[in-house]
Amino acid sequence: EIVLTQSPGTLSLSPGERATLSCRASQSVSSSYLAWYQQKPGQAPRLLIYGASSRATGIPDRFSGSGSGTDFTLTISRLEPEDFAVYYCQQYGSSSLYTFGQGTKLEIK
């Protein structure tokens, strides 16, 4: 089973700043099968990025994804107030199994 480790656990930034969130896999993940989600309190997760770098429908272009192999990054270029939330990475691997990272909480500084 592939384990995804996200860092940092909590990221404190101010609106307008740039956020960089990391997701590291215990073994190589196909770039096609790495996704990122945003979750706000009391809400279901929302798909942001799939295929490591493709934005989902309706996602602003300040969100971008990159990476390959075992290291992936979600970048938010200029934080808006509504971006403060918890972010999860997720991979789809062999035997059609899915795993999620433990999440990074992005909080207002």
Establish if 22 lies at the interface with other proteins (CB under 8 A). no
Establish if 108 lies at the interface with other proteins (CB under 8 A). no
**Binder among 5, 28, 32, 66 for other proteins (CB under 8 A):** 32
Least Cα distance to 34 among 91, 74, 72, 88 occurs for 91
Establish if 64 lies at the interface with other proteins (CB under 8 A). no
Q: Give the E-state strand segments of 1-109 in sequence order.
A: 4-7, 10-13, 19-29, 34-39, 46-50, 54-55, 63-76, 86-92, 98-100, 104-108
Block residue for tokens 């918890």: 86
Measured CA distances, 71 to 6, 15, 16, 81 (Å) = 10, 26, 25, 27
Q: Which range touches other proteins (CB under 8 A), out of 11-19, 20-28, 61-69, 101-109? A: 101-109
**Binder among 19, 25, 50, 55 for other proteins (CB under 8 A):** 50
Establish if 14 lies at the interface with other proteins (CB under 8 A). no
Footprint of other proteins (CB under 8 A):
1, 32-35, 37, 43-47, 50-51, 54, 56, 88, 90, 92, 95-103
